[in-house]
Amino acid sequence: MIELEGEHYVDGQEASFLLGVKLSTLYTYVSRGVLKSYKQGIKRQRLYKLRDVKALLQLRPSGDGATNMNTSKQEPPPDELPPASDWVPNV
């Protein structure tokens, strides 16, 4: 870990380890704008803010079945659909 001007940074190896992804996936995150990288020195080493990496760990895609979903509403079994008048307009 590197500290610059009070901000903690990690290199690519550390960031990929923390995220549990390969380096190529980490580079894909950067190219798609999911994570920002910062160039350090003339060696072209890329650094990642530790707080950004940790924030990325907190994100989850919607509809992933997370436990915070309201499960009190009971869905009908797959073989029993509600009447068409409930979900099709003008029937």
SS3 32: coil
In a domain, 88, yes or no: no
Domain that holds residue 43: 2-49
Beta pairing partners, 45: 40
**Residue partners of 11: CB distance under 8 A and separation at least 6:** 2, 45, 46, 47, 48
pLDDT tens for each residue of 24-76: 999 999 999 889 998 877 777 899 999 999 988 886 666 655 444 444 555 55
Provide the whole-model pTM: 0.60
In a domain, 79, yes or no: no
In a domain, 43, yes or no: yes
In a domain, 23, yes or no: yes
Structure tokens at 1: 């870990």
In a domain, 35, yes or no: yes
Strands (E), 17-82: 38-40, 45-49
Q: How many distinct structural domains can be found in the chain?
A: 1
Cβ proximity of 55 and 15 under 8 Å: no
In a domain, 33, yes or no: yes
